[in-house]
Structure 1
């Protein structure tokens, strides 16, 4: 392997260790109480190395969320329908329940904005393909925002209430709303 490949592998390994440490700490305590020192100690990475890669813990959180989205939320590349997007969001939320719970309950905009952006692109593609809504119209923007707002609102409720119903039931209930948005206008 050449030096560039070795460096790239080391960077990816360092990022993975730091992401993992942050997410592990967030399972145990609120984000605002977590320090860079705690993250570095758990990841076994020197603070200097941390600051070589990230500005602060907020930058690390933002990039960790982006990594989760890239790894687990495939709306843009593999988007089939809004109901498939709902399944992905709820599956990831189930897998990372404490993270989602903390971020949604603390009203952190980073997760909401990340989900909005990812979902919005896929929903837009679906609506353009399956409705008479014009690509850049106000109507399509309203439909997208209504759909995203409903999904994130229900997701927040579901997590805050300790997932009181099965995620399959949630899919079915939200699918009704999705189909209302997808009907030809």
Structure 2
């Protein structure tokens, strides 16, 4: 992203970034991402194009910032206080809660944007990168001959598969049921037992 998120933003920067993000979230519920222009974002947010380009390279950069805004609600910075074993459940819960709270926003975005389109893939890839970092913490303590990177990918992909199936593919279940699906897929005990019997 063009704007450095590591530095402490001024009040003006916070206000400007928030205005652009909220505009993008609103527009994404009205039309496909491909039909949104920088001119429209600037006009709706009441900022000149030059201000937009002070913060973002393009609308794709703004979309990534929108995912960043959502990700801040799961407090990734707290991961150090959890044991590696707790991390998977804690972040699954946090992502589940976030997506539940943002269900209206997601429904609006899904209504206007294809599930296989650029925007949804951008959303999934952003969160996949975040979950992979968490899964890497877990995989370093995984007692097996499987390379840690492969373990991290396995956990990351499974967590996002369950969440995508529930929230993006319209298969609503409660958190307890979602945990059951995740646990079954990660542990795969039934499949293992079946293969042993055969």
Range of TM-score over shorter length: 0.7 to 0.9
After superposition, the Cα gap between the structure-2 partners of 1:82 and 1:180, relative to the gap in structure 1 and judged at 3 Å, is farther
1:88 to 94, 105, 109: 94
Matches within 5 A, 1:158-173: 158-173=166-181
Structure 2 Cα separation of the partners of residues 77 and 128 of structure 1:
18
Residue in structure 2 matched with residue 4 of structure 1 by the alignment = none
Q: 1:125 aligns with which of 130, 137, 160?
A: 137
The reply to whether residue 116 of structure 1 matches residue 162 of structure 2 is no
Over the aligned positions, Cα root-mean-square deviation in angstroms equals 2.7
1:15 CA displacement: 0.5
Runs of 4+ aligned residues of structure 1 deviating over 6 Å after TM superposition are none
- The corresponding residue for 2:56 is 54
User: Contact 2:139/2:149 (CA < 8 Å) preserved in 1?
Assistant: no
Q: Secondary structure at the match of 2:57?
A: coil
- Per-residue CA deviations over 1:133-176 (Å, capped at 9, x if unaligned) read 4xxx8522222111221222222222344243223311232133
Unmatched 5+ stretches in structure 2: 1-8, 190-198
Alignment of 1:88-107 (within 5 A): 88-97=94-103, 98-99=105-106, 101=110, 102=113, 104-107=115-118
Give the structure 2 partner of residue 73 of structure 1: 74
The alpha-carbon distance between structure 1 residues 74 and 172, as it changes in their structure 2 partners (threshold 3 A), is farther
Give the unaligned 5+ runs of structure 1. Answer: 1-6
Deviates more, 1:97-106 or 1:157-166: 97-106
Task: Tell me which residue corresponds to 1:11.
Answer: 13
Deviates more, 1:147-156 or 1:103-112: 103-112
Is residue 124–residue 144 contact of structure 1 (8 Å, CA) maintained in 2? yes
Would the alpha carbon gap of residues 139 and 117 (structure 1) be closer, same or farther in structure 2, given more than 3 Å must change?
A: same
Question: Under a length normalisation based on structure 1, what TM-score does the superposition of the two structures give?
Answer: 0.76
Q: Which moved more, 1:44-53 or 1:92-101?
A: 92-101
TM-score with structure 2 setting the length: 0.72
8 Å Cα contact 1:18-1:39 kept in structure 2: yes
